[in-house]
Amino acid sequence: MLLLILAYLGGVLTIVSPCILPVLPFVFARTGQPFVRSGLPLLAGMALTFALVASLAAVGGGWVVQLNQYGRGLALVFVALFGLTLLLPKLAERLTRPLVAAGSRLSEAAGNDARPRPGASFLIGVATGLLWAPCAGPILGLVLTGAALQGASIGTTLLLLAYAAGAATSLAVALLLGGKVFAAMKRSIGAGEWMRRVLGGAMLAGVAAIALGLDTGILARFSSGSTGSLEQVLVGKLAGDKSGGAMMAQNSGAMMAQDSGAMKAQDNASGAMMASSAMMMKAVDKQPASLPVEGQLPSLDGAVQWLNSTPLSAAQLKGKVVLVDFWTYSCINCLRTLPYVKAWAEKYHDQGLVVIGVHAPEFAFERDVNNVSKAMRDLGINYPVALDNDYKIWRSFDNQYWPAHYFADAQGRIRYHHFGEGAYAESEQVIQQLLREAGAGKVVSDVIDINGQGVQQAADLRDVRSPETYVGYERAAQFASPGGAQPDRLAQYQLPGKPALNDWGLEGRWNIGSEQASLNSATGKIAYRFHARDLHLVLGPGADGKPVRFMVTVDGKAPGAAHGMDVAPDGSGQVKEQRLYQLVRQPGDVADHTFTIEFLDAGVAAYAFTFG
């Protein structure tokens, strides 16, 4: 219920977003018509179509998005024809005979008929729903990511419908107010015909804006600043977070991204049209004093491949204490918990503990078995790992987080779970208790204390004021290069002049895709104004696999003692493989700094910033 409310109110806020401007003329074309027979059917068609298309796009993959492009094209033609009949009523007379009746009906639907047809209005609403690419904000991002991770469900469609209903509500209010203004103007001589022409011209301008991508490009850039902060406040208030909106209540597959070493969730909605701001939620440590039964160990079927083991099943694991660790190899939170998981696997293996890693990829390159195998070798992972590329195991656990640890007893029952970093002592005590219950002898009571090195060192949570930030447009936030992002096309970018904290930008010729930005010029830059001890960036070389040289600066100077493990003190380094790179580790006091990385070769792909 909480997310339904959030989704509805998030939709209401879209009326103040600049990127909804291209849609407004389609709605106001019904101004002056009876609301129940004209405006209401249009808004209903718009909301229902948007909910259906967005649901399919979130869970259906690229084929749905490609199919929707054809639908959008037809809708553009339909709405353009409708706009022309408003602007040029005599156009219908000049069309060929088969189109005369259609043109007349469109003209009547536009306002000549004293008894408007609800069906015609609904059809215009359907076309508008196909064209509507709402301003992407945190709340819509929650819904789309949940749909991608949890699969198709009635709940997902209800959330998207609630979002669309919220937008329709605010548009209905605007339409009703506009109707009064239209009625007053219509009493003036010639005003009715003049208004028809203005609305027709506005509709054609809206069609042009959508066809040129302005609704998802330039206007979306302004929208994130105008509504994103409002939605963040709304999320914080309704979720009951006292720390300024950093916690998000989870429900129905809501998306959570890391903050303060908490947890990540992945937006794998192939081709979903929106970007989302990173949401944050702190993990709640559970004390292991009482270990209730939380349910049976779910099925481990569905992995595309097992590494370090033949396929394992819940039935095979009866009699063993089992730790299931959901992770992905570019996730900084997973990397920081990994030393403990490895140590537990080694320490308690002979007493009956089985550790199983479930690798659920966040980015496309993490689906490659060769990449995962190399990462496991580099990280020293020797226990069984299931490659859950299709999220089947993820869904069987109803999981929502990276990292997530589930502890099962020898009878195959889940007895404890922990999300995110931390609570290592409590988790190890759970392992010890479950081993004793299973009859293991000589189970020690001491717990491991590990001082991780490099990227695996624990985060300095007191000084992390920068959130995980995605570079791809589906989830990007605070992109500050002049002119905004231009999705799925080559464009020239410039770095922002005076970035505020957590603003970032590009320089050079880049192609910003759904999950990464790729450099298509000989050199290029990325800059980020951040506040944290550590700065990491997930990077990969070009399609040819050749190393990409780079230079890092902090406030315009070589990092020196502040260099990360993947950077020399003079700032030099190379991108040789697809993984997370530690680029900055500040010694001493932490303050705001501007990080810049200049790539000296083309082809590099950048995915996401993380901090610690």
Phi first, then psi, for residue 407 (nearest 5°) are -115, 120
Determine the Cα–Cα distance for residues 595 and 10; give it in Å rounded to an integer.
Answer: 33
- Note the Cα 91 to chain centre separation in Å: 45
* Dist CA 402 CA 262 (whole Å): 9
User: What does the pLDDT read at residue 100?
Assistant: 39
CB atoms inside a 10 Å sphere around CB 156: 23
Query: pTM (2 decimals)?
Result: 0.59
> What's the rounded Cα separation, in Å, for the pair 320 and 411?
8
**Is 397 within 8 Å of 326 (Cβ atoms)?**
yes
Nearest to 601 by CA among 567, 581, 569, 576: 576
Taking only the tens place, the pLDDT of each residue in 65-119 is: 444 455 546 555 655 665 565 556 555 445 434 443 444 444 444 444 445 567 7
* Distance from C-alpha of 417 to C-alpha of 324, rounded to nearest angstrom: 9
Q: Which domains does the chain have, with CATH numbers?
A: 2-221 (no CATH), 295-456 (3.40.30.10), 461-611 (2.60.120.260)
How far apart (Å, rounded) are the C-alpha atoms in residues 428 and 344?
A: 7
- Distance CA(425)–CA(271), nearest Å, equals 41
DSSP 115-162: S--HHHHHHHHHHHHHH--PPP-HHHHHHHHHHHHH-S-HHHHHHHHH
Rounded-to-integer distance, Cα 13 and Cα 10, Å: 5
Residue with tokens 């004793």: 436
- Distance between CA 310 and CA 240 in Å, rounded? 45
Q: What letter represents residue 383's amino acid?
A: Y
Mean pLDDT over all residues of the chain? Answer: 75
Task: Pick out the chain residues at pLDDT < 70.
Answer: 1-3, 6, 10, 13-33, 50, 53-117, 120, 124, 127-153, 155-156, 175, 178-289
Instruction: Point out which residues pair with 307 in neighbouring strands.
Output: 385
- Tell me the one-letter amino acid at 441: G
Q: Compute the radius of gyration of the chain from its Cα atoms.
A: 27
Q: What are phi and psi of 557, to 5 degrees?
A: -125, 160
Q: How far apart are CA 110 and CA 115, in angstroms?
A: 11
pLDDT of 112: 44
Contacts of 571 (CB under 8 A, 6+ apart): 551, 552, 553, 558, 559, 563
DSSP for 54-114, please give it.
HHHHHHH-HHHHHHHHHHHHHHHHHHHHHHHHHH-TTHHHHS-HHHHHHHHHHHIIIII-S
Q: Are 255 and 265 in contact (CB under 8 A)?
A: yes
Specify the pLDDT at position 116.
Answer: 54
| Tokens of residue 424, six digits | 């290592």
Question: 367-412 pLDDT, tens per residue?
Answer: 999 999 999 999 999 999 999 999 999 999 999 899 999 999 999 9
Beta bridge partners of 536: 582, 610
